[in-house]
Amino acid sequence: MSSTSPLSEDQFQCSICLDVFTDPVSTPCGHNFCKSCLTQYWNSTQHCHCPLCKEKFTKRPELKINTTLREVADHFKKKIVLDKPEVLCGVCTEEKLKAFKSCLNCGATFCKTHLERHTVRTLKNHKLIDPVENLKNYICQKHEKPLELFCRDDQTYVCNFCTETDHKNHNTVPIVEESGEKKMQLVKTQKEVQQMIKNRLKKIKEIKHSVDIRKRNTEKEISDSVEVFTALMRSIERSQAELLEVMEEKQKAAERQAGELIKDLEQEITELKRRDTELEQLSHTEDHLHLLQIYPSLCRPPHTTNWTDISVDPHLSVETVRNALSQLQKSLNKELTKTINEKIKESVDVTLDPDTAHPYLILSDDGKQVTHGDTEQNLPDNPERFNQCNCVLGKEGFSSGRFYYEVQVSGKTDWDFGVARESINRKGKIILTPQNGFWTVWLRNGNEYEACADPAVLLSLREELQKVGVFVDYEEGLVSFYDVEARSHIYSFTGQSFTEKLYPYFSPCPNYGGKNAAPLIITPV
């Protein structure tokens, strides 16, 4: 055990002899005692019960030594011996033996041999303490009597004679009592210090977590920016690089800030742990006078920083991105308008295929609208039809070139659409990912937009979507979604590899008792 070990003598103390365990044994109720102490205790009682919790045992338990606890207790005994400075007998004339006790009445320290005469009746009532070197500090210099009392009025140590003279009528209590109260205060202070350590460790965890979130957000922003610029802004690569540099520099600054905060927190934790160790050791000391002498300095709160309102912002600064993008906005709008106009030139006439529609879906006569009905229709379960998910495909598939179509989504709380390859699974549960042959976006709960990638990508949109454009470049492996009303880009799947026909895909989702009853409408471009 190191000197900073949180283990204390109380944890290895037999409650019968009040000393560190010797050959410890355990009772069925889980309490530990010296084997000899417990045996003698049970030999002297009529009923067999635990000396600590008083639980009765119908049959006297067989006592077996807890070898692990014995090894730890023996190790702790050695540590106590090593930690305590050796005090020598003050009476030995030749080779001075190790002191056993100090007598406050005699003002001397004795080895075991020289202490024997204290067993006689005249010396039997002398005040004996564990051996100390500075014995004079434990004796009243005025009356040469043991300092056995503490004057709370004058905050000093006094003997019995002092209470009849200078400290008459003062509030005095036995040193042991005062020391006990101070120990309780030390334990309270220790708990406060330990809580401060926990709070700082928690703060470190929060800061690291904030940095991780910040990093993921930064990576997402960078990834989104790359997609936008790759699909739409090849002509402004230099501006893109400047934006990324700003974002990455902010991330580095956040990491530097976090590193400095963590360093300060760890320094405080080290100091608090040192204070915790001191408090732990002193809360079990029998040197009451020494405890009272240093108590005022120990109970002063350590000088620490108030970390309550200190944190690292896990979110990328809106102002940072806004300032970086403000210079790009005009050229972006111009380029985006040009891009959407080019996409519109690729528009196709999409019509829904009733042979693929789930039985709960209702298609309009012109094949341009789909809603979710309240009853299941009696339709043939042909191989093309979806039988579990509320989906429908367009009639025409595309295996080359470019195509574009627009869908009105206003008034709905849930929907998903995009494109799907011809060989998708149409029976049973469907998971919308490119790996499964779906390139889609969706809306859930009225305001949660998501690109169904793997993993899914949350979409932060300024306004609620009313009409969405879908553009596919088969050879380029590109599927892009646009906010038609705002003439802005939503999301792009890039770098895809298409090897079979792609079909427009739609799902109006359940109507949820009328809350999502509005149709998905394929509108003219």
What is the model's pLDDT at position 451?
95
DSSP conformational letter for 489 = E
Q: Calculate the average pLDDT of the chain.
A: 83
What is the model's pLDDT at position 235?
53
Half-sphere exposure of 416 (CA within 13 A, CB side): 24
DSSP conformational letter for 505 = E
The two structure tokens encoding residue 25 = 């044994």
Report angle CA 518, 521, 524 to the nearest 5 degrees: 150
Q: How many CB atoms lie within 10 A of CB 351?
A: 15
Higher pLDDT, 85 or 68: 68
Bridge partners, residue 416, by sequence: 442, 507
Of 150-154, 334-338, 392-396, 453-457, give the lowest mean pLDDT range: 334-338
Q: Which residues of 27-50 are buried (b: 16+ CB within 10 A; e: fewer)?
A: beeebbbbbebbeebbeeeeeebb
pLDDT in tens, 169-220: 999 998 878 877 887 888 788 888 889 888 988 998 988 888 888 787 677 6
- Burial (Cβ within 10 Å: 0-12, 13-18, ≥19) of residue 138: buried
* 3 pLDDT more than 70: no
Q: Which of 385, 395, 382 is nearest to 353 (CA)?
A: 395
Q: How confident is the model at residue 498 (pLDDT cuts 50, 70, 90)?
A: very high
Report angle CA 378, 380, 385 to the nearest 5 degrees: 110
Report angle CA 147, 150, 151 to the nearest 5 degrees: 125
What is the model's pLDDT at position 232?
56
* 331 pLDDT more than 70: no
CA 16 to chain centre: 42
